Amino acid sequence: MELLDHGNKSDLRNPDTAILIQFVKTVTSITEMGEISRAGKAEGKRIALVPTMGFLHEGHLSLIRAARKAGDVLVVSIFVNPAQFGPAEDLDSYPRNLDRDLKLCAGEGTDIVFNPAGGDIYPEGYSTWVEETDLSRGLCGAARPGHFRGVTTVVLKLFNIVGPNIAFFGRKDYQQFKVIEKMVRDLDLPVEIVGLPTVREPDGLAMSSRNSYLSNRERKEALCLRRALLQAREMLAAGETSAAAVRREMEKLIGREPDARIDYLEFRDPETLKPRETLRPGDLAAGAVFINRIRLIDNLLL
Amino acid sequence: MELLDHGNKSDLRNPDTAILIQFVKTVTSITEMGEISRAGKAEGKRIALVPTMGFLHEGHLSLIRAARKAGDVLVVSIFVNPAQFGPAEDLDSYPRNLDRDLKLCAGEGTDIVFNPAGGDIYPEGYSTWVEETDLSRGLCGAARPGHFRGVTTVVLKLFNIVGPNIAFFGRKDYQQFKVIEKMVRDLDLPVEIVGLPTVREPDGLAMSSRNSYLSNRERKEALCLRRALLQAREMLAAGETSAAAVRREMEKLIGREPDARIDYLEFRDPETLKPRETLRPGDLAAGAVFINRIRLIDNLLL
């Protein structure tokens, strides 16, 4: 496990040390990542994985901090997964800043950043896909055909390469989290899946790499989804249990923003993701809203 | 790894021992199988897996013998996988004889027979599938829609549960072998896949659990597929490179059997499984023939 011995890391990260040196090993080779992982496991080390598409924000960092506590070897993967983008989506313009990401990972005590090339993850002639066919229907699955097939496939590949004992996901992507949980259960994968709460800006906007696309005006309008979800919670608390009635009020609220267009606003059972017509406390309210061409999602348990 | 210490097995299996005691541990629980596997790996043991649908014949036993040499812990799985049978196929009548299988496994020094229940492999609400979308098209994939999706899904599950370092498959199911190889490569599974030659009856019939369905008369007719494949090899050796011309002669030969009906007879590149119109030495000739309602397959590299 020589590759993981970067000298005495805890000393280097001690705030009392005069010069704070932070560094992180970057691995791009699938083979090397597998070897490091197997060597770690052979030593009885516990591997924690945080799969990301990079352009890290406080939401990712909350996952990385939890993973740091949960594992002996902390791997953060950074891979903008082409298979989960539709042909008309923002794969090419998806924000990237690897240098900044590496510094942030180092600052949280990450052992390895796994940053494979697209052509290594999906070599020519690639032809094997993993599909969850129940929870991935509807919501973002209806709005983005093939999206979850791309997500489950890349997450399974990352699990096979990195071999984590535990992996961390954000609940901002609530449906993704439930789909991955289901895949892990169905395929008998020996990985513990942890979902952590959405991290928000001070005004309540869910952190997202895509927020970087927003102009000042769009940034203000983007809050409408969060406000609509909070309004749904208030209406249910006040006794309104009709999903249709609550949705109408949410639509009105979002409709006031000139650049906002609803992709979906739905109420679901938080475990089965089955649609709800009559709302109950604990139900999932989930929405996707376009602010001009920028698609943002958020959700709330009512 | 207490579960694997069945006393001094090599003594027990010594043919000079007056009383030959042969036994094998049967595991039905997915959780227990996973624990045994992880315990073995933690001790640095190499796990070899032979996935089967039971009703073992010499073809399976050749895999089991090779696996015995390749691993420290030899696991044979016996599971008649409903997901790889079509609705009109022979799932219910598929031959089963667990007692006999256990004796055969014990006789070959198997450590564990993993024999899970269908409801544990596919619990209610099961919804995750693995699909290879290139090599699994055509041949048996065209004749049996969904078949390979069922095969890849159960094989991935068995790999996740048993965690083998190496797994053995027969080349009688040539397409299945190539599809599994491809899945393993595409999904970055840390498993070595070995394909072993078809084992045949003295007259050349490929061993198959489904041969047990054949009446005496059908048993004789069943040889026609093997004869047709050998004829294709002879024709190519004699200079005939037209796949269509060779197929016509094969059809004539099989057409002479009153109870035989061709499902497919095809020539393919042995690696990509792309169809061949002009034959070359080394090409795959593969066929499926119904003898009345019994479907048999065989293949040959020309």
**DSSP element (H, E) containing B151:** helix B147-162
Q: What is the mean pLDDT of chain B?
A: 93
A165: closest chain B residue by CA: B38
CA B48 to chain A, closest CA, distance in angstroms equals 17
Q: Is the minimum CB–CB distance between A186 and chain B shorter than 8 Å?
A: yes
* CA neighbor of B93 nearest in space, from B295, B291, B302, B273: B295
Per 3-state DSSP, chain A is made up of helix, strand and coil in percentages (nearest 5) of 40, 20, 35
CA distance to partner chain A, nearest, from residue B165 (Å): 12
Phi, psi of A252 (to 5 degrees): -60, -45
- Any A CB within 8 A of B263 CB: no
Could you tell me what percent of chain B has a pLDDT over 90? 91
CA distance A139 to chain B (A): 17
A161 touches chain B (CB under 8 A): yes
Q: Can you tell me which residue has the tokens 């309540």?
A: A204
Looking up tokens 């541990």 gives: B25
Backbone angles phi, psi at B233, to 5 degrees: -65, -45
What distance in Å separates residue B184's CA from the closest CA in chain A? 9
**What is the mean pLDDT of the segment spanning A157-176?**
98
- pLDDT of B122 > 80? The answer is yes
Confidence of residue B23 (pLDDT cuts 50, 70, 90): confident
Mutate to test the interface with A, among B121, B188, B274 (most CBs of A within 10 A): B188
Give CA–CA dist B247/B229, Å, rounded. 10
Residue located via tokens 């009635």: A245
Query: What three-state secondary structure class fits A101?
Result: helix
Does position B108 have pLDDT exceeding 90, yes or no?
Answer: yes
E strands, chain A, in order: 25-27, 47-52, 73-78, 112-114, 128-132, 166-170, 192-196, 260-268, 284-291, 294-301
Q: Is the pLDDT of residue B13 over 70?
A: no
Structure ipTM: 0.91
Q: Which of A42, A130, A135 sits opposite B130 (nearest CB)?
A: A130
With contacts defined as CB-CB under 8 Å, which chain B residues touch A160? 187-190
**A124 touching B (Cβ < 8 Å):** no
Percent pLDDT > 70 in chain A is: 93
CB–CB contact A44 B44 (8 Å): no
In this structure, which long-range contacts are made by residues A265-271, counting pairs with CB atoms below 8 Å and at least 24 apart in sequence? A265/A228, A266/A138, A266/A139, A267/A232, A267/A243, A267/A302, A268/A138, A268/A139, A270/A301, A271/A178
Q: Which two tokens stand for residue B52?
A: 């089967």
Contact by Cβ (8 Å): A149, A179: no
Residue-wise pLDDT tens digits, A246-276: 999 999 999 999 999 999 999 999 999 999 9
Lowest mean pLDDT among A16-30, A133-147, A150-164, A165-179: A16-30
Q: Which residues of A touch B152 (CB under 8 A)?
A: 128
- The CATH T-level fold of domain A209-297 is Pantoate--beta-alanine Ligase; Chain: A,domain 2 (3.30.1300)
Which of B41, B127, B156 is closest, CB to CB, to A182?
B127
Spatial contact of A134 and A161, defined as CB atoms under 8 Å apart: no
- Residue B30 contacts A, CB cutoff 8 Å: yes
- Which residues from B are below 8 Å from A157, CB to CB? 187-188
Describe chain B by its helix, strand, coil percentages, rounded to 5: 40, 20, 35
**pLDDT score, position B22:** 65
Q: Fill in the DSSP letter of residue A46.
A: P
Position A3 confidence tier, pLDDT thresholds 50, 70, 90: very low
The token pair that represents A280 in the structure block = 């109950």
**Residue among B230, B172, B175, B226 at smallest CA distance from B196:** B172
Do B182 and A128 make contact, defined as CB atoms within 8 angstroms? Answer: yes
Contact of A21 with A44, CB cutoff 8 Å:
no
Give the CATH architecture of domain A2-196: 3-Layer(aba) Sandwich (3.40)
Give the pLDDT confidence score for residue B12 in this predicted structure: 44
Q: Is B163 on the interface with A (CB under 8 A)?
A: yes
Q: Which residue in the list B6, B57, B60, B147 is annotated as catalytic? A: B60
Tell me if A189 and B129 make a contact (CB, 8 A cut-off): no
Are B156 and A187 an interchain contact pair (Cβ–Cβ within 8 Å)? yes
Report which of A38, A59, A40, A39 is spatially closest to residue A50, judged by C-alpha positions: A59
Provide the token pair at A208: 């997202």
CA atoms of A7 and A108, how far apart (whole Å): 16
- Alpha-carbon span A220 to A270, nearest angstrom: 29
pLDDT digits (tens, 9 = 90+) for A146-165: 999 999 999 999 999 999 99
Verify whether residue B60 is a known catalytic residue.
yes
Nearest chain A CA: its distance from B79 CA (Å): 16
CB atoms within 10 A of CB A235: 18
Contact B130 A127 (CB under 8 A): no
Whether A188 contacts chain B with CB within 8 A: yes
CB atoms within 10 A of CB B172: 21
Nearest CA in chain A to B121: A186
Residues of A in Cβ contact (< 8 Å) with B30:
188
Is B31 touching A (CB cutoff 8 A)?
A: no
Size of interface A-B (CB pairs under 8 A): 75
Residues from chain B that touch A38, judged by Cβ atoms under 8 A, are 190
Predicted confidence (pLDDT) per residue in B218-248, tens digit: 999 999 999 999 999 999 999 999 999 999 9
Q: Which residues of A19-36 are buried (b: 16+ CB within 10 A; e: fewer)?
A: eeebebbebeebeebbeb
Side-chain-facing half-sphere of A159: CA atoms under 13 Å: 23
CB-based contact, A149 to chain B, within 8 Å? no
Tell me, what's the pLDDT at A8?
38
Q: Write the residue in A30, A182, A190 that is nearest to B128 by C-beta.
A: A182
Work out the minimum CA distance from B112 to partner chain A, whole angstroms: 19
| B171-184 average pLDDT score | 98
C-alpha triplet A266, B129, B41: angle, nearest 5°: 120
The angle formed by the CA atoms of residues A31, A34 and A35, to the nearest 5 degrees, is 90
Contact B132, B179 (CB under 8 A): yes
- The tokens 């993850």 sit on which residue? A121
Q: What is the pLDDT of residues B201-216, one digit of tens each?
A: 999 999 999 999 999 9
**Would the CB atoms of B190 and A163 count as touching at under 8 Å?**
yes
Q: What is the pLDDT of residue B4?
A: 43
Q: What is the mean pLDDT of residues A214-236?
A: 98
Over residues A169-190, the mean pLDDT reads 98
- How far is residue A28 from each of residues A6, A153, B88, B214, measured CA to CA in Å? 18, 19, 48, 55
pTM for this prediction: 0.92
Query: Could you state, in order of their start, the residue ranges of all structural domains in chain B?
Result: 2-196, 209-301
CA dist., res. A77 & res. B213, Å (int)? 52
Closest CB from B42, B125, B133 relative to A129: B133
| Residue B50 in tokens | 């032979």
In percent, how much of chain B has pLDDT > 70?
Answer: 93
Using the predicted structure, report yes or no on whether residue A30 has a pLDDT greater than 60. Answer: yes
Under CATH, which architecture does the B209-301 domain have? 2-Layer Sandwich (3.30)
Tokens of A166: 């535990």
- Written as six digits, the tokens of B213 are 């369905």
User: How far does CA B223 lie from the centroid of its chain?
Assistant: 20
Task: Say which of A44, A131, A160 has its CB closest to residue B131.
Answer: A131
Partner A, chain B 70-99, Cβ-Cβ below 8 Å: none
Phi, psi of B294 (to 5 degrees): -95, 120
b/e map B44-57, b = 16+ CB within 10 Å? ebebbbbbbbbbbb
HEC string for A237-269: HCCCCEHHHHHHHHHHHHHCCCCEEEEEEEEEC
Contact A188 B34 (CB under 8 A): yes
Report chain A residues whose CB lies below 8 A from the CB of B127: 132-135, 182, 186
Residues A127, B186: C-beta atoms closer than 8 Å = yes
**pLDDT at residue A13 greater than cutoff 60:** no
Query: What is the pLDDT at residue A137?
Result: 93
* Better-predicted residue by pLDDT, A42 or B65: B65
Q: What is the pLDDT of residue B172?
A: 97
Rounded to whole angstroms, how far apart are CA atoms A242 and A232? Answer: 10
Amino acid residing at B134 = D
